[in-house]
A and B are shown apart, each in its own frame.
Chain A
Amino acid sequence: MADESGVRVSTERRGNATVVKPSGEIDISGSPVLREALRGAAAGGAPVVVVDLAGVSYMDSSGLATLVEAMKNANSRKARLVLCNMAERVRAVFEIAHLDRYFRIASSLEEALGG
């Protein structure tokens, strides 16, 4: 799915995991697209949700808020949410907000699926 923000999100099933792959710049214009995809993944009941951030070149606090919401949702239904393939620039925003300690962050999709 995509809108005028230019953010696109694809979703695929890998074993018992749902892999959500956003691409583009996640700001207040684009974060609703990601939020909708993550809510869809949660509604599907997947025990593992992996958010592959390889295609995300920018993220602001609205993107962080979207992922915090998804993490809280996963925790409440005893599912696991893992982030992976985070660009340096995106990781820096997580570190500023001290959220790098809150999320499970894998270096690759394979690691995220295996962990």
Chain B
Amino acid sequence: MSAGPAHVRVEIRSDPKYLSGVREMVGAVARRLGFDQLASSQVALAVDEALANVICHGYERRLDGSIWVSIWPEEGEPGGIRIVIEDEARQVDCGEIKGRDLEDVRPGGLGVHIIKHAMDDVVYEKRDCCGMRLTMVKRLGGAGAADQGGPDGG
């Protein structure tokens, strides 16, 4: 659970041109929370992939949807970052959210795999009102959900 109001919270429109700015912001916050350059870039990549999925699949490339990105420092040891992405887009069965088999080389289907590789915990859920919520945690020194054999993002 996230304790208290987010330390950082931004709302963006579902327009791809804003992804670059969000990446820079997230990467900078991750560095401030103790991640090195590579880990910070992985956190930013995971957020980029998550937002791209919301824009392309949730809002089906509509440019006027709302997306909220909230960030907390992860409490306790070893510390880390907790990021929650919420939208008002189409709800999907969480069990359907999974990456493709990496041996099946074809365009697409890599975003969820990249998210799970970059982050330690990845949980998708339907919001009560509408849309989806994705909660991602990366701990300082963590290896990533994919490397730990974690469940599919569902």
Chain B, interface size category, equals 20 to 34
| Known contacts A69-B107, A97-B102, A99-B105: A58-B23 contact under CB 8 Å | yes
Shortest distance between the CB of B133 and any CB in chain A (Å): 21
| Known contacts A68-B107, A97-B114, A98-B102: A60-B49 contact under CB 8 Å | yes
* Contact in complex: A29, B45 (CB < 8 Å): no
- A29, A64, A99: the one within 8 Å of B19 (CB): A29
The A/B interface has a contact count, at CB < 8 Å, of 65
Q: With A and B bound together, what is the CA distance between A72 and B105 in angstroms?
A: 9
* Contact in complex: A29, B16 (CB < 8 Å): yes
- Which residue on chain B has the smallest CB distance to residue A61? B110
Question: Interface of chain B, helix or strand or loop or mixed?
Answer: helix
Beyond A6-B20, A65-B107, A98-B103, 4 extra complex contacts between A and B, CB < 8 Å: A5-B16, A60-B114, A68-B105, A72-B106
